[in-house]
A = this chain, B = another copy of it.
Amino acid sequence: MTTETLVVEEDDANLDSEIVKQMLKQLRALDSFDTYENWSKAKIIDPIVLTKERKREIPVIGDPDEITLSRVKAYYNSLATIIEMKSGLMAAPMINITHEGFGRALVMVGKLIVVDKVLRDVHRWGFPSLEKMVSQSDKTVERAIDLIEKYKDAATD
């Protein structure tokens, strides 16, 4: 994957969204070698954006590497954190990915599953644009909050 050319602009308004803020926090937390220390927000989040061109460079069949797996984890951790902030209830992510890159990601609140996503081709995980990532995450969080409202008893058990 060519990462030399950034697709995320330094002044992209989406960089101030809650999901990107959380993602940056999560990615920095996982960055044990301080690679990101002097990187801009745009540069850190950039590999999450998988444009058509970038996607084309990744083989259709492949095993996810550690970096990609850590990004997927960071993403569901971020969703859980946002759901927690919005609902005031503890939210826990659980991710299961096989070596072949198939799996499932959950976010749980109490006894309720509020996010449930089947994962495929994790080695090509990403969003077509930062904007798409934000809108899709907003929708997922909104749906989770609705489920918590609907099944409040199970969510607070």
Question: Is the contact region of chain A dominated by helix, strand, or loop, or is it mixed?
Answer: strand
Query: Could you say which residues of chain B place their CB within 8 Å of the CB of A157?
Result: 151
Interface size on A, residues (CB 8 A): 17
Query: Could you say which residues of chain B place their CB within 8 Å of the CB of A104?
Result: 94
Question: A129 CB to closest chain B CB, in angstroms?
Answer: 30
In chain A between 99 and 154, which residues have their CB closer than 8 angstroms to a CB of chain B?
104, 106, 108, 111-114, 116, 147, 150-151, 153-154
A-B contact pairs, 19 of them (CB 8 A): A94-B106, A95-B96, A96-B96, A106-B106, A111-B112, A111-B113, A111-B114, A111-B147, A111-B151, A111-B154, A112-B112, A112-B113, A112-B154, A113-B113, A150-B153, A151-B151, A151-B154, A151-B157, A154-B154
